[in-house]
Amino acid sequence: MNKLAILLAVFEWACSPAGSAPVPKELRKPSDSERLLGEWVTTVCEYDGQPKADESWTFRNGLVTGWAYRIAPDESPKHLDLFHRTGGPAFAGIYEFEEDKLKIAYTTWPNRPTEVTTGKWHYVELVRRKDRSSK
């Protein structure tokens, strides 16, 4: 490569806007979609304020444990909706991350909880990422 080509490449790099260079994956904050991926195990599970059987949640390829799901991370609170595989909505929910934990509250469609607390006809689950070393 000749000196002129190197000089032009350096000049183009130096003059490019700061936001135009891609941020390396390890330096950027992961999106909610990326944070959800993987296996989660329940630490607390309640329905209508009463304990219920623990569940696990596996988010993968647009499905969560056999249900299709959609998130709306820009809503307040953040939305997590579950759909029958046939396409119709089943549950309307909300979610929030708290460090390495995921809090989920959901109820039958079209009602939606407004906070992650137990309420009449609401499911609430507090889950943590499954320890990969326990396989």
Per the structure, the complete domain to which residue 105 belongs is given by 28-134
Cis peptide before 24 (omega within 30 of 0): no
- Residue at 22 is within a domain: no
Q: What is the CATH number of the domain that holds 53?
A: 2.40.128
- Residue at 115 is within a domain: yes
Give me the number of domains the chain comprises: 1
Q: What is the DSSP letter of 88?
A: -
Per-residue pLDDT tens, the chain, 135 aa: give them: 566 555 555 556 555 555 556 667 677 889 999 999 999 998 888 888 888 887 788 999 889 888 899 999 999 999 999 998 777 778 999 999 998 899 999 988 888 999 888 777 778 888 888 875 544
What's the pTM?
A: 0.73
Nearest alpha carbon to residue 78 among 126, 129, 119, 33: 33
